[in-house]
Amino acid sequence: MRTFAIGDIHGCSVALDALLTAVKPTPDDLLVFLGDYVDRGPDSKGVLDRLLALRQSHRVVCLRGNHEIMMLEARRNPAELRNWLSVGGVQTMSSYTQSGWKTSFENVPSEHWDLLENHLYDYFETETHVFVHANLYPDVPLDEQPDLMLFWEFVNSPVQHMSGKVMVCGHSAQKSGVPRAWPTTVVVDTGVYAGGWLTCLNVNSQKYWQANADGETRIAHLEIDE
């Protein structure tokens, strides 16, 4: 069994499809998606459709990202709508209609709302790794981490969590287009929506695959900063 971590997709379904084709995950593999499935890219609907299909055929863990939080808040509270639309919500809503952009949450299928509301995790851990969307306080237990760290705080330096496990996260987009790694921390958001790449990391072998919005792929291994 292999454990894969997939960085922020942001509505880039072409990259996601190309990445999955390159990686060829089996039903025995574990796929951990690190959040931010929606917003900014052109096909948030398609991304959520792919995740729902994968959940039926593979072992899948989907974490909650700050963009899923903003989408849900915009639906619940009209005062939050303008903020969400300004950070990619327009592109998300456009992916649900064939007749031009509309701010109508009724266009979003109920199974998509169910995924976003009921089946996303704040964090996930294995024997060796902790997976989170954004960041962790090093000296705070996982079940006591505040939302600010889990979903919003960027990573600028390595985190040595008290669990002793390696933290794998997204959220902090790497303009270099390659993951940033230290012995205790790996960041796999590589900015696919902004002309970068979508990354899938085998956390045990440290091999990673990448795909861009044009469907091009490449393979490399992590370079660890000491």
Catalytic residues: 67
CA separation for the pair 163, 159 (Å, rounded): 11
Residues whose CB falls within 8 Å of the CB of residue 130, separated by 6 or more in sequence, listed in order: 123, 124, 136, 142, 161, 163, 165, 166, 167, 168
Distance CA(190)–CA(173), nearest Å, equals 5
| Partners of 124 in the β-ladder | 131
In sequence order, the β-bridge partners of residue 129 are 166
The phi and psi torsions of 208 (rounded to 5 degrees) equal -135, 150
Give the C-alpha separation, 64 to 121, whole Å.
6
Would you say 59 and 28 are in contact if contact means Cβ atoms under 8 Å apart?
A: yes
Q: Cα separation of 162 and 12, whole Å?
A: 35
Q: How many CB atoms lie within 10 A of CB 110?
A: 7
Nearest to 36 by CA among 19, 16, 59, 56: 16
